[in-house]
Amino acid sequence: MPLKFFSALFCVIISASVFAQGGAATGGSIGVSFTALPQSSFKDTVGKFGYTALDISARIPLFGSKHQTAGRKKGAHLADSSRHFYETSARLGFGLLPIDIGFLNTTRNFYNSSAGVGVSIGSGKNIFSISANVGVAADGTVLQNNDTRYRFSGSFIVNHISQSGTVFQYGVAFTYAYGRPLPLPVLGMYKRISLGNKWSLSGVLPLSVQVTDHIDSKRQLAFSLRPSGNRFQFANENVFATTSPAVFMQLRQFQLAAVYTYKFSQYFSLGADAGLLFARKLKFTEQDDTKTILSQITIKPGPSFKISLRYSLPHKRPGIPENEAMNNY
Ligand SMILES: *[C@@H]1O[C@H](CO)[C@@H](O)[C@H](O)[C@H]1NC(C)=O
Ligand SMILES: *[C@@H]1O[C@H](CO)[C@@H](O)[C@H](O)[C@H]1NC(C)=O
Ligand SMILES: *[C@@H]1O[C@H](CO)[C@@H](O)[C@H](O)[C@H]1NC(C)=O
């Protein structure tokens, strides 16, 4: 799969899975997570790759309509045609990643941050989600030298709730990471599958699936397969034979993971992930011509671990009642 397509796909999955994973289309939250990728060896050359990451993100509702849940009862059907609401929100994220890369002698600190706005509009059986984001991902030296490049992304996704409760997602996502827009279709679904309505299945084409066991109203265990990766600006500092002061470092991998989520109080939930990363590639390219590959390294499969804490801002959720198909936690 070409990397350009892969990056865009990754963005699509992030946009589309917000709803499917119970992040819900509405409400505010603040999350902190710590990720560890223990060092894994390169496949065809000496060296290892690994990182730790601290990530802070917030979703802040700005303004929207009120009392749209009036008359709704607990357990009312999700596809309630009386559902009408809108909500605008702001999203902010900041991450710090000290990364160890085999051929460097020191750990390099990479930073990423993003800011965006989103609008959710609920109308009968549809929830429309529109978002626009701007972000940076670069190593500290690039930021200090004011060589930062911004990347833009946006999406328009329709979540259609069918009579049976299955949610179909379709729409389009854009990335402007390479100077020109790259649109990609989004096609996904979320479905409760039998077994006492305890299990749900969600997926986004072409390759992201998740099966969730809704153990009870507080606990949930999910198994997922999805692409993961990122692209950072890397300060060259004579590492590669090019005159460019900064190049792109693209990490591409797939993750098979188990995620346990525990909502331990009304507003707080804790998550623990353990995963296996495979089909891993680390690629360095010129920034202005990503076809010019400076180096490409295969990384052996390895584990990943993550713990996260999330605080949901107290408010009345306009769209989705508690205990419904989309457990908000
Ligand atoms: C920063 O990058 C990491 C690794 O790809 C990712 O998990 C995290 O969500 C990113 N954070 C932000 C704010 O973009
Ligand atoms: C790493 O250290 C070795 C010896 O300690 C040195 O020869 C090499 O040039 C260093 N590499 C970099 C990229 O600094
Ligand atoms: C980067 O920009 C800041 C603020 O504009 C300035 O103080 C700093 O000297 C610049 N750094 C370089 C290396 O140009």
Residue 112 corresponds to which amino acid? N
Residue ranges of the chain whose pLDDT lies below 70: 1-26, 66-83, 177-180, 194-197, 206, 315-329
CB distance 105 to ligand 2 below 6 Å: yes
CB distance 147 to ligand 3 below 6 Å: no
β-pairing verdict for 151-161 and 108-123: unpaired
Q: What is the pLDDT of residue 176?
A: 77
CA of 46 to the centre of ligand 2 (A): 14
Q: Exposure of 122 by Cβ count < 10 A (0-12 exposed, 13-18 middle, 19+ buried)?
A: buried
Q: What is the pLDDT of residue 178?
A: 56
182: nearest Cα among 191, 193, 173, 190? 173
Q: What is the pLDDT of residue 1?
A: 41
CA of 35 to the centre of ligand 1 (A): 10
CB distance 298 to ligand 3 below 6 Å: no
Instruction: Find tokens 């076809």 and name the residue.
Output: 291
Q: What is the pLDDT of residue 202?
A: 83
Smallest CA separation from ligand 3 atom 2, residue: 146
Looking at all shown ligands, the one closest to residue 104's CA atom is: 2
Instruction: Find tokens 């990766």 and name the residue.
Output: 229
133: nearest Cα among 173, 163, 167? 173
CB distance 272 to ligand 2 below 6 Å: no
CA of 284 to the centre of ligand 3 (A): 26
Instruction: Find tokens 């990471």 and name the residue.
Output: 177
Q: Residue 32: count other Cβ atoms within 10 Å of its Cβ.
A: 14
DSSP β-bridge partners for residue 298:
281
Task: Count CA atoms within 13 Å of residue 72 on its CB side.
Answer: 24
CB distance 238 to ligand 2 below 6 Å: no
CB distance 104 to ligand 2 below 6 Å: yes
Reported pTM: 0.82
Pocket test for ligand 2, best of 101, 103, 104, 105 (most atoms within 8 A of CB): 105
Q: What is the pLDDT of residue 82?
A: 56
Q: What is the pLDDT of residue 319?
A: 46
Smallest CA separation from ligand 3 atom 5, residue: 146
Measure the CA angle with vertex 32, ends 29 and 36; round to 5°: 145
89: nearest Cα among 18, 169, 158? 18
* Closest ligand 2 atom to 238 CA: 13
How far apart, in whole angstroms, are the C-alpha atoms of residue 87 and residue 137? 28
